[in-house]
Amino acid sequence: MSTVSENQRPLRVALLGAGTVGAEVARLLLEQSDDLEARVGAPLELVGAAVRDVTKPRPGVPAELITNDPIGLIGKGVDVVVEVMGGIEPARSLIIAAMESGASVVTANKALLAEDGATLYATAEKNQVDLYFEASVAGAIPLLRPLRESLAGDQVKRVLGIVNGTTNFILTKMDEDGAAYADVLAQAQALGYAEADPTADVEAFDAAAKAAILAQLAFHTRVTISDVHREGITRVTAVDIEAAREMGFVIKLLAVAERITEGDVDGVVVRVHPTLVPRSHPLASVRDAFNAVFVEAEAAGELMFYGRGAGGAPTASAVLGDVVAAARNKVSGTTGPGESIYTGLPVLSLEQARTRYYLNLEVLDRPGVLATVARVVADSDVSIQVVRQDGTGNDAHLVLRTHAATEGQLSNMLDGLRALDVVTDIVGVMRVEGEATP
């Protein structure tokens, strides 16, 4: 039996975008209308879906709701606008217009949030409306709300995780099948995991945007995508994969956001790059297109969030959760939490980060090479933990794993190694998280 007041008018919901995610949101809004009404305290009425091409079939979206006039749709007294069109413009202008008209906004637009979230937050606050974006990071995984609300009484120390399903699929297949990067990328494209132009995924732009959003919520400091150090997976080779396996590691593209407090330094470093992860670590078992994020907090300790990070249905689930939250606030006449940047910590350069490193060097096969390389490493105040030499002649490789050092020390070490005539190429350099089980 419904508990909704008979006097409560329907709340009007508009979609900006009706692709894979938008169409699924529309379907769920229509098919689960009774349940959603009970959860919100008022009926939710889908009043339209604005798209670029009105002739394209939109399964799940009634044809009479399709329009190519987003401004006209927003102007129909809408209560909640769901933006799933993506990109910077016109999404930003439409979101601002929606908020200025009094509508709360739910968005999955990680690129826009990471580039100019400050403008959206400010507009929401000025107009006393909500801005929710759970679906912008890790699809269906409930991650942002716990960071923003459940851990509000704790001190987050570190966030690290796998936030891009495409790259995780590629690295999983390279590890399990011994396949080359190019072959697995082609397979990922054939399966629909990777776009025809995979740059956003494989060069880590997607993961960097998500890392910026996570860092801002975790550390209450404004972080944009330009603050994130970014390295993609295109240079990860089968040699790297095999070397990692023999040392007890697997390679993952990790987003890492951490607070660094050493001496007079107190700030945040945010980075995305291929990383050697011990096979004993829970992140090592995250396969294929799944996502997982570790949060390390002062009081709560280690928390892990795992699930499907992409796809129409998982992402729509997160969007609908935000729609319910925004609609409930409309019914009660309140708004949810806004931007929290009270700590105002500086975003530090990558050189402030401290971790272990893996190096794959192509070297000449002659006596004294290891001693020469070790001397350069030591002169950079870096300590070697593991060393292994593979191959002979012109195909000799020296694989090193170091103890913890700063990025600045790594940079000095690489400069010294490049100057050696016995080092013909630095084939691979990757960070290492944790210790492999002997």
For the annotated catalytic residues, the residue numbers are 210
Least Cα distance to 333 among 128, 94, 44 occurs for 128
Q: Using omega within 30 degrees of 0 as the cis cutoff, is the peptide bond preceding 90 cis?
A: yes
The DSSP annotation for 91-120 comes to: HHHHHHHHHHTT-EEEE--HHHHHHHHHHH
Chain center to CA of 274: 14
- For residue 34, the tally of other CB atoms under 10 A from its CB is 10
C-alpha to C-alpha distance for 305 and 294, rounded to whole angstroms? 7
The owner of tokens 């190694």 is 417
Least Cα distance to 377 among 386, 367, 389 occurs for 386
C-alpha to C-alpha distance for 128 and 149, rounded to whole angstroms? 19
Least Cα distance to 111 among 206, 195, 202, 22 occurs for 206
The owner of tokens 């919520």 is 217
The DSSP annotation for 167-220 comes to: HHHHHHHHHHH---HHHHHHHHHHTTSS-SS-HHHHTTHHHHHHHHHHHHHHHT
DSSP state of 10: P
C-alpha to C-alpha distance for 74 and 28, rounded to whole angstroms? 21
Contacts of 19 (CB under 8 A, 6+ apart): 84, 85
Six-digit token string for 210: 């998500």
Cβ pair 137, 159 in contact under 8 A: no
Q: Report how far apart, in Å, the C-alpha atoms of 274 and of each of 117, 138, 193 are.
A: 26, 18, 19
- For residue 140, the tally of other CB atoms under 10 A from its CB is 21
The owner of tokens 């900006």 is 16
Half-sphere exposure of 417 (CA within 13 A, CB side): 30
Contacts of 393 (CB under 8 A, 6+ apart): 365
Six-digit token string for 78: 């809408």
Cβ pair 276, 433 in contact under 8 A: yes
